[in-house]
Structure 1
């Protein structure tokens, strides 16, 4: 839902609605963020862990070019469908550095909810899940951070405080630009000016993990248990709105208190029929 509604604000005619916190008419179509998240869920349902080969196969098999994938991942998934080795293709991206984009993070919140009783395992499985498409350290850590946040939000004792959420995530991820951004996010939890926070942390305009994940988790931490507030806080600063809202929505909704508005549920495109438990 965060992905689908967030994507509506790329349309110029809908942007004035943000200031009034009004939603555009539905149905709201989801993007590649949700399509890839569905593959994560399908692999977990089938294997009870992340199987990288199966995940890459599912990404490639269900790849819909019109869902807004970036050009590098579009090409990678096409080549995987044609028999290419995801290990070689993913490692070769961006002159052999691998992608540091936010794609591995945007799709991973459901995995965190899956491992609600084990945030360390969520972090480990998220790391494994990133490599079929994103092998740069920052992209991998971004996925780890979002999965850890969702697992902590979905814990049996209910969502933690915002401070506890970010502290828990920081403790679970390795040293990186993403981790440094999360520490800044922790220090800025009391800031009321969302625009200032986004200017410091980034809001996905560069579609990089370290320019996306710290702000998204700051926003989630500020509104655990309140999906609607979390969405509007995130969307109002612009940037990569579908991705930041997908991350925030996934983390907040992982907690039992983070139920989305029923009216929004009705306007969101249904998940594809191949998703287990749909």
Structure 2
């Protein structure tokens, strides 16, 4: 069995639309902090000098959004109301875990103009000779991951339109992933097409489908080109359980069994 990492790092040294702050408490500072906390909260006395090398444990404190790095969007990310169920979208901690473990298939949409529609996805499935089944996890290769860590990552990619999103959901897909910043087209592209056409449906169509049909997105994947074949592998992408959140980080991986190409 081989495990291929499909995740991007959370890296405070890289450019992000929302700045990531990563503060590190060193093991030495951790020892001092622990001694102070023990004295203040429990009346216990211990000195850093009592600890091996005068050190205890390092602590990392990060300030970031749940949409930094590889993450999964929950239905509540798409809006406050739905046209399905009881009208209230579920948060990331409420999603069934079996959604995030299943057969994976990569569809290359890098040659699409602006967005890939249903017809484009059908052609790609025919090209790789694959038929989607309920529970499949579809990963879209837009080619954007080569720009990860730069501003181009947030402007140079291909999105999915409403017809493409609905087509995948019609096949029983519940989780759609992309190596791009967003499952929708870049903001500038969508807004330009909106001003040119006056059509509001070009604005965030993939996300807004989620107000009518329950599904999750995995955004900011990587290493899709490392997969030996476009299918025949298993995806594991369990989201971090954050109560009441519209998204959760994920260490997404592909599991390729022995004997696979």
TM-score strictly above 0.5: no
**Bigger RCO (CA 8 Å, 6+ sep):** 2
Higher strand share: 2
Question: Under a length normalisation based on structure 1, what TM-score does the superposition of the two structures give?
Answer: 0.27
Give the alignment's TM-score, normalised by structure 2.
0.28
**Structure having the larger proportion of residues in helix:** 1
